[in-house]
Amino acid sequence: MNNDLLFYNTSTAEMTFDEVFDHLLQFIKRDPTATYRLAVGTDSQVHQHGTKFITSIHLHRVGKGAWGCLKKVMLPRRITSLKEKIYLETMYSQEVASKFTEEHISTMIDFLIPYSDEGADFIFEIHLDIGKKGKTKYFIEEMTEQIWALGVQPKIKPNSYAASSYANKYTK
């Protein structure tokens, strides 16, 4: 099995995307009256022998917890170009987000529709590890346009927690 297609979290070492999707559905089924924010985001860290990229899938039951998992890619070279790192982070996020087909999104939303009068809602976002402060500000327009082209809402710092917080924690 290809490691690039495997996800993990603190309780499960290896999950296929189908297994991840099943976990997400079970999480939604436990409280279908909630608002859910599904976010995909990637962060990276240069290490001595290469660059580690961590892509997260994070399903936030707003105000009531979250479920998440990660996918790791280790490139065997040190990426020193900020533009290349941001481009690759965005590409890895797009790759994982594209696994959520219209059918996947519809399946999740279908569980929530009967509870929309009780506040149920669903939002799908890609979180980019860029922001208006610092050197990454020069990439905001280009990277967010790539995400909009997928039909998904992009988020940047300080609202891009799936990349800048959750994924970041595992790049060290």
| Burial of residue 20 (number of CB atoms within 10 Å: 0-12, 13-18, 19+) | buried
pLDDT digits 0-9 by tens, 47-71: 999 999 999 999 999 999 999 999 9
Q: Is residue 3's pLDDT more than 70?
A: no
Query: What is the rounded CA–CA span in Å between residue 69 and residue 167?
Result: 9
Domain boundaries, the chain: 27-149
Query: What is the rounded CA–CA span in Å between residue 66 and residue 37?
Result: 9
pLDDT digits 0-9 by tens, 97-133: 999 999 999 999 999 999 999 999 999 999 999 999 9
Evaluate whether 64 touches 34 at the Cβ level (below 8 Å). Answer: yes
Task: Report the pLDDT value the prediction gives residue 5, as an integer from 0 to 100.
Answer: 79
Q: Helix 140-149 vs helix 82-97: angle between axes, to the nearest 10 degrees?
A: 20
| Burial of residue 13 (number of CB atoms within 10 Å: 0-12, 13-18, 19+) | exposed
Mean pLDDT across 2-30 = 91
pLDDT digits 0-9 by tens, 162-172: 999 999 999 99
